[in-house]
Homo-oligomer: A and B are copies of this chain.
Amino acid sequence: MDIENFAFQVIAKQGKARAGLLTTLHGDIETPIFMPVGTQATVKSLTPAQLDEIGVQILLSNTYHLYLRPGADLIEKFGDLHQFMKWNKPILTDSGGFQVFSLGDLRKIDSDGVTFKSHLDGSMHRFTPEKSISIQEKLGADIIMAFDECSDPENYQYSIKAMERTHRWAERCIAAKQRKDQALFGIVQGGIHADLREQSAVFLTSLNFPGYAIGGLSVGESKVDMLNTIELVNGVLPEGKPRYLMGVGTPFDLVEGIRRGVDMFDCVLPTRLARHHAAMTLSGRMNLSKAAYKSDALPIDDTCTCYTCQNFSRGYIRHLINAKEILASTLLSIHNVFTLVKLSKDLRRHIIEQDFDEYAELVLSNLEKEDS
């Protein structure tokens, strides 16, 4: 595929872990990288200036949500999604596939696409590979995703069917794509079945995408199945292209994913946990609403250098939660996103310094079991 302003380079490796540099029209991204999610053209409770200060290099936004509200045509009137939400660094949009499949009874899949009911107003809509690409071209992200079908990962027959559909749709996405300044990533499916995952990775590699995603994981399968699948798929995907593990983002998952050659991650977890009063740390989660923190003058994590930990006490955050103040969400979101961005940055440095394994073991040994 002919793409302008997009390149990927592996600059260091240790075992299967890779430190890379991804170049896009809106700037470079040092990989491995965690991408926070701005579902509705905003990372909930944070300004772009705060995201910048956290060190966020690339955001993910959701095609399904933006298509329904405010609409891709409206965003195009403002230029593109970068200009609409004033995030001038790289953006990745998903295809809408995962979201429409998640609608359950509200959607019907056929070989050509998916018909679904809006969760907002019940109106009927239809996504096809061509439609998804058309919307994503209007949104104008630097990286866009092929329209795929996520199966029940343990159901072998369904996983075959969804994988084959995903492959045909991948070809249609390539054919439909017109813009030359966006990189289209293919998505490997196949549930937790080694033969299907291998077949999918081989087939998609033959289509020569500029990057690849591993889809359909972290949707109910065991951690062992998830990690084995990542390892298997990355063994097939080409070395010189970026690999993106979709929808995954605990500290444990980052370490184990990067160890197995993943370059990119996204997850709503840090901002969702923040709204539920929880802080992510490298020694487990903390629920800041607990009365135990009432007069606690320590920061969430006294080794953390985020704005929240550099300034505010657990006791103050607990007060904000108790008083139902919005600032609680903002401060916890800053900390949680920072934690994952910083972890990916630290892991990258240790790959370059060739002591990744030691650092990975240290991080994993500190993480409490409930966080894994």
Contacts and interface: CB of A to CB of B under 8 A. Distances in A.
Interface stretch (A24-32, A121-129, A312-320): A312-320
B46 A316 contact: no
B77 A297 contact: yes
A294 to B, nearest CB: 7
Interface string A79-113: 00000111000000000000000000000000000
Contacts of A44: 325-327
Contacts of A289: none
A203 interface: no
Contacts of A325: 40, 42, 44
B78 A323 contact: no
A47 B330 contact: yes
Interface in A129-157: none
A218 to B, nearest CB: 25
A74 B313 CA distance: 13
Contact of A313 (B78, B311, B315): B78
Contacts of A311: 48, 86
A326 B46 CA distance: 8
B329 A326 contact: yes
Contacts of A307: 47, 49
A168 interface: no
Interface string A45-56: 111111000000
A22 B271 CA distance: 41
A45 B326 contact: yes
A78 B46 contact: no
Given A47-B330, A322-B69, A77 B295 contact: yes
B47 A319 contact: no
Q: Which 7 A-B pairs have the closest CB atoms?
A: A40-B323, A45-B326, A70-B319, A86-B311, A42-B327, A42-B325, A77-B295
Given A69-B319, A77-B315, 14 more contacts: A40-B319, A40-B320, A41-B316, A42-B327, A45-B327, A46-B327, A77-B295, A77-B297, A78-B295, A78-B297, A78-B316, A84-B313, A84-B315, A85-B316
